[in-house]
Homo-oligomer: A and B are copies of this chain.
């Protein structure tokens, strides 16, 4: 990273751990990947990259704080993975191809083993998508990770939130709600549950939908990643597009693990408002369903509703009757 800010001279006085933090800082230089467009990486006042002509640059930034955005018990490896994954997910939602990341890592104390594991998680995911760490800052303080990721889109090809039109179909990738159920199992320390491994992994090692985002360029009229929850993120699309939506509740994707863990009383709640899934939620014109079918060969996609000319979201049962989300228990559809 360009600068370690654990400076002996900065602001509130000396920091005796400059040397230790320098070690950590140096540690991140040992990454496996070297992109040809990175002219100068970690080690000077800044990084230098060459720019791909005819492309536009997409920038995303996310902060994760211990006890706020992840349980204190989260492993260093998982945190390294996830802090990058949530950013790559934002790039995916923009239809961008990832390129570089910067990392601001604040640690309560220097712990080389912890940093080693953190970097392994980070670099494991970074390598998958050809993303290089090019700079950042290491500081002492409460455990906080801010990652900025950078990617490219062809001119005018980025996926935005504001293009959904009445009649468009609403799709979601994967199985939203699994991450929230994973958190439930972790918080109740239910490690014996047969779905514990799968669901806690959904929470801690989300897979950013980069390939899907790239495939949706020229097809999707709007796109967002599900970090706040399916309905909340759909609201972002609707607000920006000036439209409403019908959600066909019986069409929502429910995985076997979800079915095994979700509380029957509020069965659809994790799916509709759980968040932290980093699946993509997007809209397409109805006449582009064939193109979606081709993408579905590689990834689970589900059509869950349609954009309406109105305002707000209505959740509908198979007969077209409106259902209150709070009443969306499992039984509702067993009865229906």
Contact = CB atoms under 8 A, between A and B. Distances in A.
A94 B150 CA distance: 20
A63 B8 contact: no
Contact of A8 (B57, B142, B225, B228): B228
A9 interface: yes
Interface string A154-171: 010010111000000000
A48 B94 contact: yes
A135 to B, nearest CB: 6
B45 A11 contact: no
B5 A69 contact: yes
A146 B104 contact: yes
A83 to B, nearest CB: 11
Interface stretch (A27-35, A111-119, A270-278): A270-278
A11 B102 contact: no
A276 B5 CA distance: 10
A12 to B, nearest CB: 5
B61 A104 contact: yes
A134 B61 CA distance: 10
Interface in A19-67: 39-40, 43-53, 55-65, 67
A46 B68 CA distance: 22
Contact of A10 (B39, B69, B136, B148): B69
Contact of A224 (B13, B40, B45, B229): B45
Nearest to A151: B46
Contact of A9 (B91, B137, B160, B228): B228
A332 interface: no
Given A57-B51, A141-B65, A141-B68, A46 B8 contact: no
Interface residues of A, number: 87
Given A60-B2, A60-B46, A146-B137, A71 B160 contact: no
A70 interface: yes
A7 interface: yes
Contacts of A57: 48-51, 57
A13 B94 CA distance: 27
Interface string A194-229: 000000000000000000000000000001110111
Interface of A: 1-3, 5-13, 15, 39-40, 43-53, 55-65, 67-72, 74, 90-91, 93-94, 96, 100, 102-104, 106, 134-137, 139-142, 144, 146, 148, 150, 153, 155, 158, 160-162, 180, 183, 187, 223-225, 227-229, 232, 240, 273-276
21 contacts: A1-B61, A2-B60, A3-B60, A3-B90, A5-B227, A7-B228, A10-B68, A12-B72, A44-B161, A45-B161, A46-B58, A46-B60, A47-B60, A49-B56, A49-B57, A59-B134, A59-B135, A59-B150, A61-B137, A63-B137, A68-B140
